[in-house]
Amino acid sequence: MSARARSQYCTFWVRGLYFGVAVGDVQEVLRAQGMTPVPLASDAIRGLINLRGQIVTALDLRRRLELDDDDERPEPMNVIVRGGGEAVSLLVDEIGDVIDTGERELHPTPSNLPEAVQSVLHGVIPLPEAILLVLDPDQAVEVTAAHPTGGKS
């Protein structure tokens, strides 16, 4: 089930990194949505959004990948993926095109990438103008609660 078989990717940028998710895993892409914060949850969880009556967890990829999150950024976009059997919204900086990588092969992730980034990738596909990081949605949405019991400090 390597990503070689899937050549179409929905792409987006997070902190200058060029990511792709196989189009089959993407449910839809939405503009910034109203969000309800979830106290006690992990930092990466920005809140809950109402997706036509379904409640979807919004996961900030910057924080999930432990990338620098200091500066202000434009309203994040929502990439709704199906990961681990549930719909989860990935908050990204900017949406790119749907691209077709054709016959290009999936390369293993370079080993010097930060662990937080490596752990969510299927691999990378070097393209002429950029290097596409192929995201594994199942891994990306694995976030444990920061405070497992929600107990007192």
Burial (0-12, 13-18, 19+ Cβ within 10 Å), 15? middle
Smallest distance from other proteins to CB 59, Å? 7
Q: Which is nearer to other proteins, 86 or 94 (CB)?
A: 86
Three-state secondary structure call for residue 150: coil
Q: Which is nearer to other proteins, 18 or 137 (CB)?
A: 137
Q: Which is nearer to other proteins, 88 or 99 (CB)?
A: 88
Phi, psi of 140 (to 5 degrees): -60, -35
Smallest distance from other proteins to CB 148, Å? 5
Smallest distance from other proteins to CB 24, Å? 20
Give, in order, the Cα–Cα distances in Å from 72 to each of 26, 79, 93, 95, 123. Answer: 26, 20, 11, 17, 29
- Which residues of this protein are in contact with other proteins, per CB under 8 A? 34-42, 45, 47-50, 52-57, 59, 84, 86, 88, 141-145, 147-153
d(CA 105, CA 3): 8
DSSP label at residue 108: P
Q: Which is nearer to other proteins, 112 or 149 (CB)?
A: 149
Q: How far apart are the first and last CA of the chain?
A: 43
Smallest distance from other proteins to CB 137, Å? 13
